[in-house]
């Protein structure tokens, strides 16, 4: 059996895709995997922030089209890049076990956020990260930083930034987690929806491929990510809104915790929620969805709806073509 896997060309995307290929080959040793390496709009436009050109879904659409038209059998994405609505005819057939979902403050000396000097420059392209970190350190500059992980690290090492913020998952997968960094607690920076997880998309009705993908599925990760995406859907937020949502099991799987946050685009407003439920006698996937939706409703009641509306209006002012992703 041979499968063709659509992937972005970035070093991290290739590592993630090769990881999926290796997992599948471990399940079926005679499997041949061919990588279809693609450059997406999100990869090509490095001069502006993602929110200005349509959001993280720009990393996904070309890969989806390759699967739909038969050039590839499946596509591997970072789950946090996946838009709320998938292309018709495709499904996320597999979500393997999640990597570390936290953000990381990366410096040359291992400094924590509180250790940084007032007025220093922190590089990040994430409104979600900026709004949350500014609540603790409003006396530093948050500057746009795009490019591959290695490109961002080179800018840090070149002195353009005192610190940069990256995802722990990417650093671990690239074997760069041993450099000076501080994993930022979820209580300080709630991760993006789906952060640390991978999503494997395939065609509906491709029974052979989907049966193989089912062998590397991780039910707990799918349940938690499902709760996070239900949270996002219930909020009605888009790529222009700084928001985060994270579900995780605690106490040996007996308790599900959900944390959610929505910020204002100006950085001066933030609403946050944390909920917990015991999982005994409860179906985890359904419980995660219910908890995510409850978290969204609480945030909407506390002002998140206005923050989301303002973010969309500001995006439309910058570009009338701006639309939710």
* DSSP 8-state secondary structure symbol assigned to residue 216: G
Task: Classify residue 297 as exposed, middle or buried by CB count within 10 Å of its CB (0-12, 13-18, 19+).
Answer: middle
Does residue 81 carry a catalytic annotation?
A: yes
The catalytic residue among 81, 103, 206, 238 is 81
What does the block give as tokens for 175?
């074997």
Rounded to 10 deg, the angle between the 219-235 and 284-299 helix axes is 30
Angle at 93 between CA 197 and CA 20, to 5 degrees: 55
The H or E element containing residue 221 is: helix 219-235
d(CA 181, CA 250) in angstroms, rounded, equals: 25
* Nearest C-alpha neighbor of 244 from the set 255, 257, 229: 229
d(CA 179, CA 204) in angstroms, rounded, equals: 42
| Contact indicator for 95, 226 with CB cutoff of 8 Å | no
Q: Determine how β-strand 32-38 pairs with β-strand 2-8.
A: parallel
| Contact indicator for 97, 221 with CB cutoff of 8 Å | yes
* DSSP 8-state secondary structure symbol assigned to residue 142: E
Spatial CB neighbours of 282, under 8 Å, sequence gap ≥ 6: none
Q: In Å, how far are 96, 146, 147, 198, 258 from 150, measured between CA atoms?
A: 25, 11, 8, 20, 32
d(CA 203, CA 285) in angstroms, rounded, equals: 23
* Nearest C-alpha neighbor of 81 from the set 65, 51, 58: 58
**Where in the sequence numbering do the catalytic residues fall?**
81
């Amino acid at each position: 059996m041979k499968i063709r896997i659509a992937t972005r060309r970035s070093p991290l995307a290739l590592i993630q895709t090769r990881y999926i290929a290796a997992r599948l080959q471990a399940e079926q040793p005679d499997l041949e995997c061919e990588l279809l390496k693609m450059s997406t709009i999100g990869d090509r436009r490095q001069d502006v922030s993602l929110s200005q050109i349509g959001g993280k879904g720009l990393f996904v659409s070309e890969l989806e089209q390759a699967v739909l038209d038969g050039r590839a059998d499946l596509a591997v994405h970072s789950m946090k890049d996946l838009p709320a609505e998938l292309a018709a005819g495709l499904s996320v057939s597999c979500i393997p076990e999640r990597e570390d979902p936290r953000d990381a403050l990366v410096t040359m000396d291992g400094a924590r956020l509180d250790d940084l000097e007032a007025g220093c420059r922190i590089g990040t392209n994430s409104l979600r990260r900026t709004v949350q970190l500014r609540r603790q350190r409003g006396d530093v500059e948050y500057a746009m930083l795009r490019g591959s992980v290695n490109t961002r690290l080179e800018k840090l090492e070149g002195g353009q930034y005192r610190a940069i913020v990256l995802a722990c998952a990417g650093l671990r997968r690239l074997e760069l987690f041993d450099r000076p960094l501080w994993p930022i607690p979820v209580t300080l920076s709630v991760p993006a929806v789906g952060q640390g997880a991978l999503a494997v998309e395939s065609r509906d009705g491709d029974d052979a491929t989907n049966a193989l993908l089912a062998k590397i599925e991780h039910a707990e990760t799918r349940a938690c990510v499902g709760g996070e995406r239900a949270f996002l859907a219930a909020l009605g937020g888009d790529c222009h809104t700084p928001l985060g949502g994270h579900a995780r099991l605690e106490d040996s799987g007996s308790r599900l915790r959900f944390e959610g946050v929505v910020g204002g685009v100006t950085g001066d407003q933030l609403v946050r929620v944390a909920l917990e439920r015991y999982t005994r006698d409860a179906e985890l996937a359904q419980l995660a969805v219910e908890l995510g939706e409850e978290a969204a409703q609480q945030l909407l009641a506390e002002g998140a709806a206005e923050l989301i509306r303002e973010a969309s209006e500001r995006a439309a002012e910058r570009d009338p073509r701006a639309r939710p992703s």
